[in-house]
């Protein structure tokens, strides 16, 4: 009986370990970086999309004498820090809830083009930018999440500075100006590297003046999800961060609000 009890204990907590010791954690030494913006009435949205709205259902002291608050929110899928599911631009590809967790978590590289984008709101990230990063840091490892830093995070959430226009409606779409990823660079990544996901610190992986959203079509046609309006990329190293990007799990969704964070090991 003693041997049986010891065997059971060994399976549960370890026969020779003290049960009051905390388990080891892979996040014991380092820090988390929040790569998400909060959602509010100030959150920039595409000119034709419904912005975020938070309505009060109840806030205050109840008849029972205790405080209680509850709210209703409404917003388009694509605004603020959010996920683009592949089905957003590729029929038959993953919708939001179908994306495997493995595609939303993993080591990340950050390709910084902020100097080039600073004076060119229509800058398109090129294959040469990617190759320059690899020359300095080594080849992008298989199954990496690739994040592009344009420096536009410093302009958030001022819609005119961040999007190129603060106007709303269909006519405002032609006034959008912000950097994105050139289709040729997207094609090269798909054909030459094995990546999990793509992300950028602007409102779209295509630049603001795009009319065919070819970069969206390329990545999402290959079932590569995208993260847009990613925050705080200036706080990440060129490589070595571990990213966890968890969207609201909307069944059949083409995207969703996203809470994305990065772990930096000491």
What does the buried/exposed string (b/e) look like for 185-194 if buried means 16 or more CB atoms within 10 Å of the residue's CB?
bbbbbbeebe
CB atoms within 10 A of CB 108: 26
Q: Is the pLDDT of residue 264 over 80?
A: yes
Overall average pLDDT of the 2-8 stretch: 44
Q: Where are the domains of the chain?
A: 30-49+77-265
Alpha-carbon gap, residue 168 to 83, rounded angstroms = 22
CATH among 1.10.12.10, 3.40.50.720, 3.50.30.50, 3.40.50.300 for 30-49+77-265: 3.50.30.50
CB atoms within 10 A of CB 22: 6
Alpha-carbon gap, residue 160 to 180, rounded angstroms = 17
What percentage of the chain reaches a pLDDT higher than 90? 89
Length of the chain: 266
Alpha-carbon gap, residue 261 to 255, rounded angstroms = 18
Segment 27-48, tens digit of pLDDT: 788 999 999 999 999 999 999 9
Query: Which residue shows structure tokens 């309505």?
Result: 55
**pTM, two decimal places:** 0.90
- Of 240, 234, 261, residue with least CA distance to 138: 240
Alpha-carbon gap, residue 212 to 206, rounded angstroms = 9
Name 206's Cβ contacts closer than 8 Å, sequence gap at least 6. Answer: 180, 181, 213, 214, 215, 216
Asked, as a colleague might, if the bond just before 80 is cis with ω within 30 of 0, I would say no
Segment 161-205, tens digit of pLDDT: 999 999 999 999 999 999 999 999 999 999 999 999 999 999 999
Overall average pLDDT of the 90-105 stretch: 98
Alpha-carbon gap, residue 23 to 19, rounded angstroms = 9
Segment 231-257, tens digit of pLDDT: 999 999 999 999 999 999 999 999 999
Segment 64-95, tens digit of pLDDT: 999 999 999 999 999 999 999 999 999 999 99
């Amino acid at each position: 009986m003693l041997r049986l009890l010891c065997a059971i204990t060994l399976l549960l907590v370890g026969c020779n370990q003290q049960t009051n010791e905390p388990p080891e954690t892979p996040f014991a030494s380092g820090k988390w970086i929040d790569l998400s913006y909060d959602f509010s009435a100030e959150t920039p949205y595409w000119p034709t999309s419904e912005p975020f709205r938070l309505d009060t259902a109840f806030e205050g002291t109840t008849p029972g004498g205790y405080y209680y608050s509850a709210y209703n929110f409404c917003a388009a899928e694509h605004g603020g820090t959010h996920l683009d599911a592949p089905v957003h631009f590729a029929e038959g590809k993953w919708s939001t809830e179908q994306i495997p967790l493995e595609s939303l978590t993993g080591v990340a590289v950050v390709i910084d083009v902020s100097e080039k984008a600073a004076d060119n709101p229509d800058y398109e990230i090129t294959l040469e930018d990617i190759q320059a990063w690899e020359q300095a840091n080594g080849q992008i490892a298989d199954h990496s999440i690739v994040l592009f830093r344009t420096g536009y995070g410093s302009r958030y959430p001022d819609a005119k500075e961040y999007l190129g226009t603060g106007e709303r409606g269909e006519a405002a779409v032609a006034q959008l100006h912000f950097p994105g990823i050139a289709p040729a660079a997207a094609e090269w990544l798909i054909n030459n590297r094995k990546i999990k996901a793509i992300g950028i610190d602007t409102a779209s992986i295509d630049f603001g003046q795009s009319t065919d959203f070819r970069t969206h079509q390329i990545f999402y046609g290959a079932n590569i999800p995208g993260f847009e309006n990613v925050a705080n990329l200036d706080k990440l190293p060129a490589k070595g961060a571990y990213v966890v990007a968890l969207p609201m799990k909307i069944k059949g969704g083409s995207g969703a609000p996203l809470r994305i964070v990065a772990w930096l090991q000491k």
